[in-house]
Structure 1
């Protein structure tokens, strides 16, 4: 397994692999035969960036057996998804504020993210692992009251695409088995979600395969696998949100409910 990340170090951006305290910087393209350099940088000295710059973000809905049963809705026969704007991406440890144009509920959703590593079109589930670069943590923030505000049109993309509404990272972990993972969400120190990826209706490989028949997936694209039980809304003026997945890391975000 390798742990990949992007960083800002002094006046430049870079990428590389990390261990507990150090980054080995790489040259070239993270997704196309990157080459290790002799530069090592202390992890404590860098600012972490979003681990990729996705051309698109695909977010699934109703992809867990437990949540489907609780909602009392049928399990889908194919992945149900929406697109979040790439401009919603923000870095690990970011401070995100309520959008000035919206005064309703804001919901956090801890999720597993799939990062695509190769251009992907029309593949089978058995081929998918060869196109998956690795996995990351996602907080799929949502302006929940917007979705049904207009009775004639469900505003999923708008509700999920405000600036800062897609924190992900802090790293990408490669060569792990996603079905073995547990996603936890900790809000102001209290665990609010803990659910197994093995409960997904569509596995990571099935998701990538199905989506690749709908659209071309490019290196760096992010797929948010959906969430399960325990989703809640932000209530404190300032809240600490942590999405934790053992084997990947902890994605930390501070959310401020007041307007700037």
Structure 2
């Protein structure tokens, strides 16, 4: 064990040195807890929203979304992004529930700070990347959607927007989700350009982000964000790379 820790510490030092040599982004975040992304419909700061609609209600005590945003994102074709879930026929209701919950997490959660990255896009300046999604949440999402239909495996780009809403581009064919996403990881990681990374951890572990939770028992993602923010802090001020974060988490695991 001592030898393993020594080798890991040396590797951490090497990676930290490599990252330290890179110029820091002037907009790099130092606030990792209780923050909102700089994006199209997000509030500047999180706060209470007592009347959040339906599936977004778990975030009502502290949210980055407004009541209007929470209402709009429940529609089949929301004015938020003019995105049509039913681009290959009617999406199964249980599948759509998972997509609505995913959108609520994206718009409402103040617990994604450790994974926020700067982007240069017309509709947002920040996104989240490689959020460790609890394995059950990903599995259940895939199971609910495997028999619904789509025509693409990356929904961030490549649509035909000629009509004002997303339509399947020329040359694509509607198939089941299982055709385009053979495994749960394919769905959760590829769908939104690696916004999520499927975790090996389970719900309630304090080590993965939950899309679904009962707010009567508090928000479990607060603990998760705190854990990863502290890991990044221990790794040093230049530890913005996923590799360095992973190595530091391994070190924390070794030392208990």
Does TM-score exceed 0.5, indicating one fold? Answer: no
Q: Report which of the two has the higher share of helix.
A: 2
TM-score calculated relative to the size of structure 2: 0.27
TM-score (norm 1): 0.27
Relative to its length, the structure with more strand (as a share) is 1
Structure label with greater radius of gyration: 2
| Higher RCO (C-alpha under 8 Å, 6+ residues apart) | 1
